[in-house]
């Protein structure tokens, strides 16, 4: 049974990503497509926006990406990672990987999408990450995820006090009440 804790070094409350921890740091030896200078990021979990979470670049610090567990929004997701990508990540197979989808936020919840074709693939043991192309016709770059989210207000990922209205998915009842499972 996955843990439902929320603090540094403990699993986030996403039952399908029990191995992803708040404040974990991952390194991208090849950078990210379109963001070549990003060579590392940290995971930032905010209970109020789960199942969404942020990955924040280590340098430059101003870049943050909203993410989601792709299996939460597309339960039949079976991404295939190429042999070179597995080698680069020092993984024996997909079963050892953690998959994260980048989310394209919109004011209208019906317009919010997740990138299923190009997930970030993580090796938790080695702290390595890489954005890969699954090149599967059923996995679009912009998969609508409105069906998996609900209304709430979310803090700006830059850390300012400004908030932006949008929607997100069901939170764990344990985390909502502050209790640990």
pTM of the model: 0.72
List domains and CATH numbers for the chain. Answer: 25-175 (2.30.290.10)
- Tell me: pLDDT of 157 over 60: no
Per-residue pLDDT averaged across 41-54, rounded? 82
Task: Using a pLDDT cut of 70, give the percent of the chain over it.
Answer: 70
Q: Average pLDDT of 146-168?
A: 48
Closest CA to 147 of 100, 101, 99, 114: 114
Q: What is the pLDDT of residues 88-128, one digit of tens each?
A: 999 988 888 899 999 998 877 778 899 999 999 999 899 99
Burial class (CB in 10 A: 0-12, 13-18, 19+), 22: buried
The stretch 24-33 carries a mean pLDDT of 90
Residue-level pLDDT at 44: 85
CA-CA-CA-CA dihedral for 133, 145, 70, 32, to nearest 10: 40
Write down the pLDDT at residue 150.
57
- What are the residues facing 21 on neighbouring strands? 11
Question: What is the percent of the chain where pLDDT is above 90?
Answer: 30
Predicted local confidence at residue 17, as pLDDT: 56
pLDDT beyond 90 at 135: no
pLDDT at 41: 92
Instruction: Quote the Cα angle for 8-59-65, to 5°.
Output: 65
State the residue for tokens 């954005």.
131
8 A C-beta contact, residue 18 and residue 1: no
């Amino acid at each position: 049974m996955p843990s439902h804790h929320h603090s540094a070094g403990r699993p986030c409350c996403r039952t399908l990503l029990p191995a992803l921890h708040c404040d974990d740091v991952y390194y991208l030896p090849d950078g990210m497509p379109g963001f070549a200078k990003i060579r590392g990021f940290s995971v930032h979990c905010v209970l109020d926006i789960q199942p969404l979470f942020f990955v924040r670049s280590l340098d430059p610090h101003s870049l943050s990406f909203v993410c989601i567990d792709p299996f939460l929004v597309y339960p039949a997701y079976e991404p295939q990672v190429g042999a070179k990508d597995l080698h680069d990540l020092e993984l024996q197979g997909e079963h050892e990987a953690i998959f994260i989808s980048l989310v394209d936020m919109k004011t209208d919840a019906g317009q919010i999408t997740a990138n299923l074709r190009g997930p970030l693939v993580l090796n938790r043991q080695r702290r390595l990450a890489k954005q890969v192309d699954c090149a599967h016709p059923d996995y679009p770059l912009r998969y609508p995820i409105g069906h998996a989210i609900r209304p709430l207000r979310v803090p700006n990922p830059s850390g300012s006090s400004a908030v932006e209205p949008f929607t997100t998915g069901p939170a764990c009842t344990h985390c909502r009440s502050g209790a640990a499972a």
